[in-house]
Structure 1
Amino acid sequence: MYKFPDGFFWGAATSGVQSEGSTNQINQSIWNYWFEKDSKRFSEGIGPDIVCDTYNRFKEDVSLMKEINFNSFRTSIQWARLIKNFETGEVCDDAVRFYNEYIDELLKNKIEPIINLYHFDMPIELQEKFGGFESKKVIDLFVLFAQKAFELFGDRVKYWTTFNEPIVPVEGGYLYDFHYPNKKDPKLATQVAYNIILAHAKVINLYKTMNFSGKIGVILNLTPSYARSNSGDDLKAAYMADLFFNRSFLDPMLNGYFPQDLCEILKKHHLTPEINKIELEEIKKSKVDFLGVNYYVPRRVKAKEKKDEKFNNPEYYFDYYINPDGRFNPYRDNNEIYPIALYDIAKNIQENYGNIPWYLAEIGIAMDLKSEGDIKENGLIDDTFRTNLMKEHFIQLHKAIEEGSNCFGVHQWTFIDCWSWLNSFKRRYGFYRLDLETGERIKKKHGEWFAELAKNNYFN
């Protein structure tokens, strides 16, 4: 028996832009705009306009959450939906109504909402006018948005997060071209990363002055870096990958300072962002109450075989490699399956970051429609593959908790198959399948298993 601590959070995660659809949304995010501009980049030409239609179906969805015994759920408030005028902070009345009703429906069903403020969804007006988080002006506008959200919903929402996976807009928008604005510019990338960290810090410090009884944190995608061998060069490659992709946000957001090695590397390549002492003090004093962790796959690296002429991205310092002894998910680009990494993440937080309270904010096993198959006679979709792998991961998490890791919950990605950026609906993760033609929600077998886990707080 693998029993979890009393009061453990069991639920799922999504985001506003991936689930709500665009009904009555007064402003556009970069995703609406980019899809209109270049729909061919999106799998099967599917954009974010309808998606799960949570805007109209949230009561139905909350009842389905209750059916599989959720006691918590994460989503996000869309900046482009809530705020009517970004400069003044004037809010959209319809958005206020929607989010109030959604939050109240969750609470009525004893499902604790965890509300995130930014999930890759920069308003296009701010991206085009100021460059999004390239500009420190947008930091102030983000803080104003956060203030409005706290004032409107902070009496009921007890768990807030500032950003989900803040490194992803940096990678996607400024290094690797899978997010708008599709720039490959490492100098801009470092400035955007710094500005996001500063925006996070300012919102944390603001919330602490507003005397709410809730807690506030951040959600980071942590991907342990494993060296090909114990050679010095391979170990250095893994160190550098961890420095860029994990510690670049972990250290300032949890400990209040940037890794010295990273600062020296950026200086060497003339990539140091514009900073000042007042901003660094703001970052230093910001203290999160908890950390959310998203984990999917490990990162395997080796020493660089051929040195690049100049720094274009972190791969200047390492090469990726495929683990010859690894297991791979045939339904998601043959990504490696490595549950032990979850244990390693938990121990890293415990040993190097003060054993801060944390929860597994996302974990998911991707399948596609073909691999999940048709609806069975019992009315369920058989995704036993997903359940078996999830058990392996939860065993590793349980082991870390038994050893003192301060984990307080698990949110699986995702509740209903949701729209996923350029991949649209190529991959499915939900407890419920979404029929794209009818909007019907169809339960999967894994949802039945999860319902028992959430009800009993253990599994065998």
Structure 2
Amino acid sequence: MNTFPKGFLWGGASADFQVEGGFDEGGRGLLSHDYETDGSLEEPRHHTMKMPDGTLIYPRSSFFYADEVPPEAEPVFLEDAYYPSHKAVDFYHHYKEDIALMAGMGFNVYRFSICWSRIYPNGEEEQPNKEGLSFYRNVINELKKYGMEPLITICHDEMPMNLALKYDGWSSRYLIDCYLKYCKTLFEHFGQDCKYWLTFNEINAVKGFGPCGTRKSDGHVRYLAAHHMFVASAKAVILGHEMMPDAKFGTMYAMSELYPASCKSEDVFHALLERRENWYFIDIMARGYYPSYAKQIWKHHGFDHLEISDEDKDILKRGQLDFVSFSYYRSNITQAGDPWFNVGGSINPYLETTPWGWPIDPLGLRHVMNTIYDRIQKPLFIVENGLGVVDQADENGYVEDDYRIEYLKDHFKAMRDAINEDGVDCIGYTMWAPVDLVSLSTGEMKKRYGFIYVDMNDKGEGSLKRTPKKSYYWMKEVISSNGSSID
């Protein structure tokens, strides 16, 4: 069979702070991402913060690194810095146009994140921000007009800045209550129109500055923060199932296939240990309990114990995920002696790379799908995959992006083989991203992923005109044929 299953969900994915803009409109509060520069002041991308004596510091904000930030440091906006999230690509004012363009490709699902601080600006208000609720109601209504399912990411590596500063993010158990209040508000206002929900984005990247919102790089603090997120997610799933019996919940994981650098026993065993960094998160949330190797993970990160109450264990068991969603962009190789969670990995001589050095490995996607499904036996949803390159647009904004078409074609074939030949249950695919957006790791616009070109440069300059690329029309054929056209 050369098609995808009937009812397969085809669409695109984005994050609010990378597309939305309008950071000071509609009652929105500040996020930690709002203080991230485009990298022109300091490389790579950094937060801008000030010490009490006026000294500026630039803690790294790249997703996979974190410097320990002094508690007395305060975030500041600098006049000579550009902050990409403030404008992004202005989905806030272009959502109708963007959704119409997505519908033109035949999308039947769109994954987007709701900005927590647009609903609760400081995270602690008694009542939600009505303007924020109204904006997302309009977005959802527009999606429904075109027959698109909203796939909502409740928390995409962010939180109101007040919670990060006042409580050091998820290191405080207090955030569970703040998050549950936020979730309940979303379920009450949007639950009747939204079936698919993701509680967190790339939750396994706890070494990053963003997901936990804590300033500390201490292993115990970060894995305690992760535990609080596990409990919050499970409580959200329990509450969501009560309020919306037909709703389905997942959490998104950053997945890269990991190969041992050789068949040397030490390299193979090291790859096993490093894979457990990802399985730790999936096992706890999709199986509902801490795995036997948890203490090994903790020991590696410098501590030997987490306080986990019987009540928390019960919550984790009752709040298991309904499906497993993940991002897949690349594979890595590792060998004995490499650090765990070595995202950059080592060079794989058998694979080509993107301009940013990411190995291109479609078969790795099939491998990941099989490995997760064999282990968890719950439906999969691929919610991020795509190619970031420097697109060259003509005078009309049109891009001949055959390279993106080839990338997607190879990954779609691997995904289809995993489903049809290997028996993997996969319910959908959302490509990163339907519209060009600001890069998370670099703050650039030149690293483009979209089917739709946006006329804007790295400094936010341009007309913001949207123009479909060649891949837009190719993807339209893929969706209309449910995948048969890729042969």
Aligned length: 440
**Residue 306 of structure 2: aligned partner:** 273
Q: Distance in 2 between matches of 1:12 and 1:265?
A: 34
**Residue 27 of structure 1: aligned partner:** 29
Give the drift of 1:89: 4.1
SS of residue in 1 equivalent to 2:208: helix
Give the drift of 1:46: 4.0
Q: Distance in 2 between matches of 1:34 and 1:320?
A: 25
Q: TM-score, normalised by structure 2?
A: 0.85
**Residue 414 of structure 1: aligned partner:** 433
**Residue 350 of structure 1: aligned partner:** 373
SS of residue in 1 equivalent to 2:364: helix
Q: Conserved in 2, the CA contact under 8 Å of 1:293 and 1:359?
A: yes
Q: Conserved in 2, the CA contact under 8 Å of 1:14 and 1:75?
A: yes
Q: Would you say 1:359 and 2:381 are equivalent positions? A: yes
SS of residue in 2 equivalent to 1:70: coil
SS of residue in 1 equivalent to 2:467: strand
**Residue 309 of structure 1: aligned partner:** none
Q: Aligned letter for 1:144?
A: K
Give the drift of 1:93: 1.0
SS of residue in 2 equivalent to 1:91: coil
Question: Among 292, 295, 304, which residue is 1:260 paired with?
Answer: 292
Give the drift of 1:179: 9.0
Q: Distance in 1 between matches of 2:192 and 2:165?
A: 34
**Residue 79 of structure 1: aligned partner:** 116
Q: Conserved in 2, the CA contact under 8 Å of 1:89 and 1:144?
A: no
* 1:17-96 correspondence runs (5 A): 17-21=17-21, 22=23, 23-35=25-37, 37=48, 45-84=82-121, 86-96=123-133
Q: Would you say 1:428 and 2:459 are equivalent positions? A: no
**Residue 157 of structure 2: aligned partner:** 120
Gaps of at least 5 residues in structure 1 are 306-312
Give the drift of 1:288: 1.7
Q: Conserved in 2, the CA contact under 8 Å of 1:303 and 1:319?
A: no
* 1:15-414 correspondence runs (5 A): 15-21=15-21, 22=23, 23-35=25-37, 37=48, 45-84=82-121, 86-168=123-205, 170-173=206-209, 183-244=216-277, 246-267=278-299, 269-304=302-337, 314=340, 320-329=345-354, 331-332=355-356, 334-354=357-377, 356-368=378-390, 372-375=391-394, 380-402=398-420, 403-414=422-433
Gaps of at least 5 residues in structure 2 are 38-46, 50-56, 63-80, 457-461
Q: Distance in 1 between matches of 2:85 and 2:132?
A: 17
Q: Distance in 2 between matches of 1:94 and 1:155?
A: 19
TM-aligned CA distance change 1:431 to 1:239, over 3 Å: same
Which deviates further from its counterpart, 187-196 or 142-151?
187-196
Larger strand percent? 1
Give the drift of 1:228: 1.1
RMSD, aligned α-carbons:
2.4
SS of residue in 1 equivalent to 2:232: helix
Per-residue CA deviation, residues 116-139 of structure 1 (Å, 9 max, x unaligned), is: 100011111000111111110011
SS of residue in 2 equivalent to 1:382: coil
Give the drift of 1:28: 0.5
Give the drift of 1:156: 0.8
Q: Aligned letter for 2:463?
A: T
Q: Conserved in 2, the CA contact under 8 Å of 1:376 and 1:382?
A: no
Q: TM-score, normalised by structure 1?
A: 0.90
**Residue 444 of structure 1: aligned partner:** 469
**Residue 75 of structure 2: aligned partner:** none
Moved over 6 A (4+): 39-44
Q: Conserved in 1, the CA contact under 8 Å of 2:381 and 2:429?
A: yes
SS of residue in 2 equivalent to 1:100: helix
Larger helix percent? 1
Per-residue CA deviation, residues 216-243 of structure 1 (Å, 9 max, x unaligned), is: 2211122222101222211111011100
Q: Distance in 1 between matches of 2:212 and 2:466?
A: 29
Q: Conserved in 2, the CA contact under 8 Å of 1:186 and 1:271?
A: no
SS of residue in 2 equivalent to 1:260: coil
